[in-house]
Structures are given as structure tokens and as C-alpha cells.
Amino acid sequence: MIRNCLVSLSLVGVVALAALPVSAQTRQPAKPQTPAAGQGQAAELGTFGEWTVYETPQGRNKVCYVLTKPKERTPKNLTRDPGFLFITARPAEQVRNEVSFVLGFAARETTPGEAVIGPTKFALAPKGKSAWIANAAQENGFIDAARRGQSLNVTVTSGRGNASTDRYSLAGLSQALERMRRACP
């Protein structure tokens, strides 16, 4: 399933997105850094349920991430690009469990989004076609809830005012995160 979606989204683009440093205070992506020649592309380390683990061979600046795409998107009649949920580790920057969403559409940045796992809710900060957990200090709580949960609903308002909800399966997340931890300790 993930492989089919990646056909429409360049793996190089996915790597670049996952490798973007995000300021914990502003939650805005920093300028992307181009890997040095010969460093290679992301290597798939395995698939666990609905989640796939990747590692970029960037020497000391190695980046690992897990990703999945929504199982369901509503309303179904809206036109949008593919959506993804990433959880990233950048050990050289002391970054672990950074949660980011590729929405597949431009979001209304003045309207917070929401991620819901069972009874637990997390505010999202949309920026362009992406979103992050609004309070970076809650990312580990999000990961804990996601490990225990069955599904995740992400609701964000588009720039045109349409509420959009993506439902993600959390099956296999714990195993994928463990594999990522071993690759990027």
C-alpha cells in the first residue's frame, strides 16, 4: 500500500521532507539541506502493519523516519494530493519522535487542526501543506497514545474553508518505532 502511494510522491521528496529540521518554538520548517553527492537515498528498513521505516545514509547527520498514509479521507469529493504521517529521528540534532503531517492541500493556518486518538486530543499547528503537534512538548504523549490506540483522526481546515479528516491506522506503529530506534539510536 505505501509503495503504491510513493509512486506518486518522489522518494527524494519524502526524504527531504522528513529531513527538514523544525524549530520546536515556531514549528516552521527550516531551509532544506541537500545531501552531499554519493550519500544515497533513503533505504527501506521494513514494513510493520501500515507503517514503513526508512533510513537516510547521511553519515553523522543520518535521519530515520516511519511513515504511513491515511486509510480514509473525508469528504471524499475534495481534490487533494496524497497525505502522510511521519515520525522522525535526527540523532545528530538530538531530535526524537518529531511528528509531522503532509496534508495534501494548503491549510488555513489561522485555524488549529486536531489529532484525536481515542479520548485523547492534540492541537495541530498547520503551516502551508503540513501540520505539526502545536505544543512540541506533547509529542512524546502523542507517541504514547498512538502506541496504545487503534486509529488516529486528523482534522484540518483547508485554505478554502473545507474541513478535512484523515483516518490513519496505528497497526504496527510500535514495531516500526522500535526498528527506527535501533537504526537511529
- The predicted-structure confidence for 84-121, as pLDDT tens digits, reads as follows 999 999 999 999 999 999 999 999 999 999 999 999 99
| Rama region for 38: left / alpha / beta (φ>0; ψ in -120 to 50; rest) | left
pTM for the full model? 0.80
Q: What pLDDT is attached to residue 40?
A: 60
Is residue 139 pLDDT above 70, yes or no?
yes
Provide the pLDDT for residue 32: 31
Average pLDDT, stretch 140-167? 97
Place of cell 488516529: 152
Q: What is the pLDDT of residues 17-59, one digit of tens each?
A: 444 444 433 444 332 333 333 346 899 999 999 999 999 987 7
CATH match of 2-21+41-183 with 2.60.40.1880: yes
Question: Is residue 48 within a helix (H) or strand (E), and if so which, with residue range?
Answer: strand 43-48
Q: Report the C-alpha gap between 43 and 122 in whole angstroms.
A: 31
Q: What is the pLDDT of residues 3-16, one digit of tens each?
A: 333 333 333 344 43
List of residues 6+ apart from 26 with CB closer than 8 A:
none
Average pLDDT in the 140-160 region? Answer: 97
Greater model confidence, 150 or 6 = 150
Could you report the per-residue pLDDT of 159-171, keeping only the tens digit for each? 999 999 999 999 9
Could you tell me the pLDDT band of residue 61, with boundaries at 50, 70 and 90?
A: confident
